[in-house]
Amino acid sequence: MKYLLNILLPLFVLTACEGPPTPRLARYSVHGIDVSHYQSRINWAELDSLTVHFAFIKATEGISYADSLFERNWEALGATDIRRGAYHFFRPEAPPGEQARHFVRTVTLETGDLPPVLDIELIGSLPKYELVRRLRVWLDIVENNMGVKPIIYTNLYFYNRHLAGHFTGYPLWVARYHDREPILADGNDWAFWQYGKQGRLPGIRGHVDFNVFNGTLEQLDSLRIPNPKVMELSERLR
Residues labelled catalytic: 34, 121
* DSSP H helices in the chain: 2-18, 44-47, 70-78, 96-106, 128-146, 156-158, 217-221, 228-237
Half-sphere exposure of 81 (CA within 13 A, CB side): 8
Q: What angle do CA 147, 163, 183 make, to 5 degrees?
A: 105
Rg (CA), the chain: 19
Whole-number Å distance between alpha carbons of 19 and 26? 20
A 10 A CB-CB count for 111 gives: 12
